[in-house]
Amino acid sequence: AGLFALSVVAMGFVGQEFFPKSDRPEVMVDLTLPQTASIKATGEVVARVEKLLAADPDIDHWSFYVGQGAVRFYLPLDAQLANDFFAQAVVVTKGHAVRQAVIDRLEKSLSVGFDDVMT
């Protein structure tokens, strides 16, 4: 009983995180068009987004998956079903230090001129 009481008290010193903060350089970008959008229309939106990515000096490289989600390259990644109106990008930044700045710029850029796209 004493060992149990000691372990209960010791649990108060253990930190809790439901989802630990990511230290990975990747940023996942989901693009969802209206459900009636064709895969061609989705590809056209992806081409516009790729121009934004190419202009960002803090982005090293990226891969887009049009009509489906990215391959599961780490365990917490949810698999996306194939849909013509969906695209997903794995954007690799030039380091963890610039990751949040890239996210902020992408959110700002995608909120202007991409009215039919949910991100």
Rounded distance between C-alpha atoms, residue 50 and residue 42, angstroms: 12
Rounded distance between C-alpha atoms, residue 31 and residue 54, angstroms: 17
Could you tell me the pTM of the whole model? 0.77
Q: Is residue 20's pLDDT more than 80?
A: no
pLDDT in tens, 31-81: 999 999 999 999 999 999 999 999 999 999 999 999 998 887 776 677 788
| All domains in the chain, ordered by first residue | 22-110 (3.30.70.1430)
Per-residue model confidence (pLDDT) at position 108 = 94
Strands annotated E in the chain? 26-32, 59-66, 86-93
